[in-house]
Amino acid sequence: MGSAGPLIVCSALAAGALVVRGDRARAWLLLGALLLAPAILLVHVADSDQVRTLRDHPAVAVAAGVLGLALVGALAAVFARLPTAFPIAVVATIPFRIPIAVGGSSSNLLLPLYLVVAAGAVAFFVRPPGGTGRRSRTDGSPWCHGPEPAWLERLLALALVLYAAQAAYSGDDGRALENVVFFYIPFAVMYVLLVRLEWTSRLAAISLGVLTGLAAALASIGYVEFATRHLLLNPKVIASNQLEDYFRVNSLFFDPNIYGRFLAVVLVLLVAWMLWRLRTRDVALGAVVMAFLFGGLVLTLSQSSFAALLVGLAVLGALRWSVRWALGIAAAVGLAALVAFALGTTAFDGGSSSNKATSGRADLISGGVHLFTDRPIQGWGSGSFGREYRRAEHVSAVRATSASHTIPVTVAAEQGVIGLLAYLALLVFAFLRLFRGAAVGPVRAGVAAAFTALVVHSFMYAAFLEDPLTWALLGVGTAVAAAAVPRDREPAEPEPEPE
């Protein structure tokens, strides 16, 4: 693959920013990764119709470039002066995907989030942390010295470099390149910046408020879609609704499952805030918002999102009250759900097709397992699952898929035992990072429970490191865990006056 070398170099720059100790070196590495990634992408799509159109109209290309640089510069100036503006901007842009044709196919890209992350990296480069302590900002920089890189950062760096290296022998190197450029690199930069912010209780509350407001707005759109029986996006879901008795909504997302995952994460964070609140008015308001968002989740008919929400709530119950009771209730609800699922499958499908009941996931999983057994050590290469699955199972492009909908199976098939061990180690150290001391307050408990819910969702629907929520939760959880003062404590409890 001609782009393997530059792709590995770009991933190594982002990986270096995760593990290097000096902030000035980190700033250079971040900037280098963000400059090299779009250059690699341009070379990759040089012969596409979009780039050809820009070459035929150079004035449009120049205007678009100037506009993008102006937006990044303006945002960077804001972030350099207002420390809280960057995380709030991340929260405000993290759900929005815009369809862009890349390399002959359409991809749903987080363009607003990319602009925010690029501006944050520029602001960090211009005014890196000063002083010597984590909270020292003697030069007025909005950034803090983050915690010393540990095993979680090393494993995240390994995941980046390994994925890029295994793209060299992939049967679909274009998809691997797009995953690195569109997801791994910008999200790693976002993680580095989020860790180097002072996450006070006020900033966490503002971020949750913005996230909840966005979720309510998106749920409102979903309600309108259900009432009018008209979807705004994704012709595949529109066609599916016309053929089935049920109707699924996706709001401004291109997939009901991704929309459901977003709502499940917000619901878990909102419940965490409610469990540590003492004011009846706040709890009542939270309950009303929860009911509204849960109704939006129901309309997605996303089984994976319901399971993720259940597990996230069980984790919160264990952290707030009792592990034994939380596990018991979760087991009872899970058993009831399995029984209902089995009965529903038998009633509607005659008990003959688990693949149909799981929307094709059973075939994808079994096919992924066969791919893994055929090449267990190194796998078939990053991003290759869709192409190798079609080749091995002799299915048409109509049934094409990019992943097995089960992240461990996808990792095993694409990256073999090497990638699977790295993925499992990453999970272990991520849970250790987030759960150590998580019961002290709503911020840490909510982040730990939401991350657990997201991991559970990735077992039934693709996207783990390809989801910005994963990196955001890890970044916020790391920053809060490294804080020297207990900022998760409820601010409504005033400190005693000095005698």
Q: Same structural domain for residues 177 and 280?
A: no
226 with 323, same domain: the answer is yes
Q: Does any domain span residue 451?
A: yes
Q: Would you state the pLDDT for residue 351?
A: 44
Question: Domain check: are 176 and 208 in the same one?
Answer: no
42 inside domain:
yes
Q: Do 178 and 205 have their domain in common?
A: no
178 with 258, same domain: the answer is: no
178 lies in the same domain as 251: no
User: Among the three residues 117, 147, 182, which one is the final residue of a domain in this structure?
Assistant: 182
* Domain, as residue range, for 290: 201-357+436-481
Length of the chain as a residue count:
499
- Residue 93's alpha-carbon distances to 20, 26, 268, in angstroms, are 28, 24, 19
CA angle, 322 as apex, 318 and 326 as ends, to 5°? Answer: 55
- As to burial, measured by CB atoms within 10 angstroms (0-12 exposed, 13-18 middle, 19+ buried), residue 219 is buried
Question: Do 178 and 231 belong to one domain?
Answer: no
- Whether 275 is covered by a domain: the verdict is yes
The answer to whether 141 and 123 are in contact (CB under 8 A) is no
- Tell me whether residue 116 is in a domain: yes
pLDDT value, residue 80: 87
CA nearest to 38, candidates 220, 138, 185 = 185
- C-alpha to C-alpha distance for 33 and 25, rounded to whole angstroms: 12
Note whether 322 and 243 are same-domain residues.
yes
Same domain, 300 and 210: yes
Query: For residue range 70-87, what is the model confidence (pLDDT) as tens digits?
Result: 999 999 999 988 878 999
In-domain check, residue 224: yes
Query: Would residue 212 count as lying in a domain?
Result: yes
DSSP 477-489: HHHHHT-SS-TTS
Contacts for 52 with CB less than 8 Å, ≥ 6 apart: none
CA dist 469 and 465 (Å) reads 9
Residue 296 lies in a domain: yes
User: From CA 335, how far away is CA 338, in angstroms rounded?
Assistant: 5
In the chain, which residues have pLDDT < 70?
A: 1-2, 46-57, 101-107, 130-142, 235, 238-245, 324-361, 395-404, 484-499
DSSP character string of 97-159: -EEEEETTEEEEE-HHHHHHHHHHHHHHHHS---SSSTT--TT--S----PPP-HHHHHHHHH
Tell whether 106 and 206 lie within a shared domain.
no
Residue 348 domain-assigned (yes or no): yes
Q: Are residues 220 and 284 in the same domain?
A: yes
Q: Among 230, 226, 248, 274, which Cα is nearest to 441's?
A: 274
The total domain count for the chain is: 2
Q: What is the pLDDT of residue 364?
A: 81
Assess whether 177 and 240 both reside in one domain. no
pLDDT at 430: 96
